[in-house]
Structure 1
Amino acid sequence: MAGALDGVRVLDLSRHLAGPYCAMMLGDLGAEVIKIERPGVGDESRHWGPPFFGGESAYYLCCNRNKQSLTLNLKHERGLALARELARGSDVVIENFRVGVLDKLGLGYGDLKAINPRLVYCSISGFGHTGPDRDLGSYDFLIQGRSGLMSITGEPDGPPMKVGVAIADVAAGLFASNAVLAALLARERTGVGQHLDIALYDSQVAVLANIASNYLCAGEIPGRWGNAHKSIVPYQTFQAADDYLILAVGNDAQWRQFCEAAGMTAWAQDPRFAANPDRVAHRDVLVPLLQDLLRRKTVAEWLQLCAEADVPAGPINAIDKVFADPQVDARGMLVQMPHPTIGTVRLAGTPLNLSATPAEMRLPPPLLGEHTDAILTRLLGLDGRAIAELHRDGVV
């Protein structure tokens, strides 16, 4: 069955994580994605390891499936000319070069719009194409710090901490893919494309969500709460007899259900604990009582008890347990794909579930330049002699 984006061609000039993640999402939805890489070097993430498998880094593998790799030297005039021709026949260009670099090469939005007015041109950068810091380079870690995310992450009496995944990169990639889809829809109405300016900094500020709203509305600068919640109690980790678990009581009805199931009905009637605002005000009393109670059973016992009482609770899984989880398997979030050097590569699946035009894992992450000759022949009509000359001259 054809994917939702079947017939859409994406020219992916990006590298690292945010841009490739965006392009992969579009590829999962059926778009043809052509990944442009430097000859002999490729996307820098290919070298971000260990671990490496079959010559490829696990980092690179995580965000480059459903793509074809074409090596192209953008420092060579013939390489630039080929890139322009590919852009002429593409629907989307994704790039994350420093602001202004592609303009100097004649591959900026204005240059490509002149030859392809329908082009959706998505730029992803640290700070965007406007503002005093537009020329600054950046990485996810720096964005996590500057955006305020690290100031609210970690234990209250500990140092600020980053999130364990490159969340600013991933968020920017997701926002970018959303913007691309919107721009393609707008193009159906107007007949013309547009420039999308997506910044990691903007994306991470947006992801602050209720934390940002709390400050903007109330003027309170939030601190770090560790694994607790400022406004909901109990909503944190506790230590059971054998390991840690999460108890997430989101309303008073759930609190009463938990108390009854745990044999502590008096807590539900105690005026200090009956309503959530009271539990928040008396967390210093309630949390130690809960901790003492939860140490009396194992995680499995508490999870069964909470499930039967319809109270949200869950384990804190290591990654091996995540991918052994039957729910992950049932939802297709673990995929296995044949790969030319690895044999079979295992990847996290896509959460994009469309009933009529399902996402599909068609192509494994490509080897560097794996599809160069085929793309030059199929899309640009070059013959064997012309392609051989390009290889000889270091253009591809």
Structure 2
Amino acid sequence: MMDSTAQNTTGPLDGVRVIDLSTVVMGPYAAQILGDLGADVIKIESPSDTVRLGEYRNTRGMTPLNLNVNRNKRSVSLNLKDEAAREQALTLIDTADVLITNMRHGALDRLGLAYSQIAARNPRLVYAHAQGFRSDSERAGNAAYDETVQAASGLVDVANRAIGKPVYLPTILGDKVSALTIVYSVLAALLHRSKAGAGQHVEIPMTDTVLAFNLVEHLAGHVFEPPVGSTGFPLSMAKGHRAVPTRDGLACVIPYGPQNFRDFFNSAGRTDLAKDPRVNGEAIADADIDALMDLVEECSPGLTTEEWERICAKHSIPMAPVLELDRAGEDPYVREGHLLDVVEHPSEGAIHTVGIPVRFSATPGSIRRLAPLPGQHTDEVFRELATRR
């Protein structure tokens, strides 16, 4: 189904070359998305790339995380501390449309890979640099991981106020939101280049990105000056903002507005609750949300998840079964959308690969290569480079 050596590309970014000079998740994930959309992505890496650390089945370095963020790429192994290898990297970057890196400024300067140095050679390059903090801030050189970004962007405060514990969200949200921001920023810069003829430096600070993401709803009453209420989106911060049990599982049932609540309670056989004054006004008061969601949880075990799904669809009540990750491949929605398929990797055998979620009517993306072995394409890429000279 997929050929790891396929050369033909499809998708809206066919013809765009991306150099992935990044590690861990944020940069590699962004570069993979560009590859899914048709770009020729070349990953410059060393054997110590941290995304390749961890458990593996057949081949050292072919970890689950690596397999999930490095498909649709060719891997070139170069030790950038070596002068000859560094010149090879620069020669390769000369052919690129986009460079993605999360190396610190000091390291980039020492290696001759800072934007000012690269732009002199390739003025059409879109240079996307992602770091934990803004380059003009006092924190510019500080080490940053997803947890530090969650703390600095207010996500930990939101969790602490919602559940009473200053926990980190159990997903690397900072990395992945920043990766998506890299993608749209790169696309915007490519559009500008098509008009102006020149590339540019694009800085993506993770903390700034996630803070902006967080404040969309959680700035709340502090949107106004002076404030007209507290920060924190009321529904998201409500104690009752949780999945509820059904007769045979768990489901997200989120009635929005009085009619949704009345339809839910009537369907549960609780006509008394459907007559409650709290669900018969023009809107649901913020102060009543917790108590009403407690009543939803009280009623929900009366029917199966499938029964609730039919009822909620009939009455336009937002609802979804809770997907168990261990059984994701069995879920009809996931299976029918090819969101998680089993494919044959050349070295790792049968693996699950996550599908491309976006659909283009004229230029669909594709999975042309599964994640490569470290340095698998070094000779191939430099043979191609030699023929272009």
* TM-score over 0.5 (shorter chain): yes
Using the alignment, how far apart are the partners of 2:347 and 2:298 within structure 1?
A: 53
The one-letter amino acid of 2:23's match is R
Q: 2:179 aligns with which of 160, 169, 173?
A: 173
Give secondary structure in 2 for the equivalent of 1:79. Answer: helix
Report if the CA contact (8 A) 2:27-2:130 is conserved.
Answer: yes
C-alpha spacing 1:379/1:212, structure 2 compared with 1 (3 Å): farther
Q: Which moved more, 1:191-200 or 1:161-170?
A: 161-170
Using the alignment, how far apart are the partners of 2:219 and 2:57 within structure 1?
A: 39
| 1:154-303 equivalence runs, <5 A | 156=162, 158-208=164-214, 209-217=216-224, 218=227, 220-222=229-231, 229-230=236-237, 236-275=242-281, 277-283=283-289, 285-303=291-309
Could you tell me how far 1:368 is from its partner in structure 2?
0.4
Q: Which moved more, 1:182-191 or 1:239-248?
A: 239-248
After superposition, what is the alpha-carbon deviation per residue over 1:40-75, rounded to whole angstroms, capped at 9, x for unaligned?
x2421101x235454311011111100000001110
Report if the CA contact (8 A) 1:235-1:247 is conserved.
Answer: no
- Match in the other structure for 2:22: 14
C-alpha spacing 1:376/1:124, structure 2 compared with 1 (3 Å): same
Q: 2:90 aligns with which of 50, 73, 84?
A: 84
C-alpha spacing 1:278/1:83, structure 2 compared with 1 (3 Å): closer
Could you tell me how far 1:223 is from its partner in structure 2?
6.3
Percent identity between the two aligned chains = 35
Could you tell me how far 1:131 is from its partner in structure 2?
1.2
- Match in the other structure for 2:31: 23
- Match in the other structure for 1:392: none
Give secondary structure in 1 for the equivalent of 2:219. Answer: helix
Give secondary structure in 2 for the equivalent of 1:123. Answer: strand
Q: Which moved more, 1:99-108 or 1:161-170?
A: 99-108
The one-letter amino acid of 2:39's match is A
Using the alignment, how far apart are the partners of 1:253 and 1:123 within structure 2?
A: 48
C-alpha spacing 1:289/1:335, structure 2 compared with 1 (3 Å): closer
Using the alignment, how far apart are the partners of 1:161 and 1:216 within structure 2?
A: 26
- Match in the other structure for 1:391: none
The one-letter amino acid of 1:15's match is T
Report if the CA contact (8 A) 2:20-2:41 is conserved.
Answer: yes
- Match in the other structure for 1:148: 154
Could you tell me how far 1:116 is from its partner in structure 2?
0.9
C-alpha spacing 1:104/1:253, structure 2 compared with 1 (3 Å): same
The one-letter amino acid of 1:253's match is Q
C-alpha spacing 1:186/1:224, structure 2 compared with 1 (3 Å): closer
C-alpha spacing 1:335/1:238, structure 2 compared with 1 (3 Å): closer
1:306 aligned onto 2:309: no
**Cα root mean square deviation, aligned:** 2.5
The one-letter amino acid of 2:217's match is N
| 1:348-387 equivalence runs, <5 A | 348-381=354-387
Could you tell me how far 1:326 is from its partner in structure 2?
1.6
Q: 2:138 aligns with which of 115, 132, 151?
A: 132
Give secondary structure in 2 for the equivalent of 1:196. Answer: strand
Using the alignment, how far apart are the partners of 1:154 and 1:215 within structure 2?
A: 19
After superposition, what is the alpha-carbon deviation per residue over 1:193-249, rounded to whole angstroms, capped at 9, x for unaligned?
000100111111021121134433336554698xx6347x98642233343322111
Could you tell me how far 1:311 is from its partner in structure 2?
1.7
Q: How many residues align?
A: 377
The one-letter amino acid of 1:162's match is Y
Using the alignment, how far apart are the partners of 2:192 and 2:111 within structure 1?
A: 28
Give secondary structure in 2 for the equivalent of 1:346. Answer: strand
Using the alignment, how far apart are the partners of 1:215 and 1:65 within structure 2?
A: 42
The gaps in structure 2 that reach 5 residues or longer are 1-8
Could you tell me how far 1:295 is from its partner in structure 2?
2.9
Report if the CA contact (8 A) 2:250-2:321 is conserved.
Answer: yes
- Match in the other structure for 2:6: none
Give secondary structure in 2 for the equivalent of 1:11. Answer: strand
C-alpha spacing 1:216/1:43, structure 2 compared with 1 (3 Å): same
Report if the CA contact (8 A) 1:153-1:160 is conserved.
Answer: yes
C-alpha spacing 1:330/1:350, structure 2 compared with 1 (3 Å): same
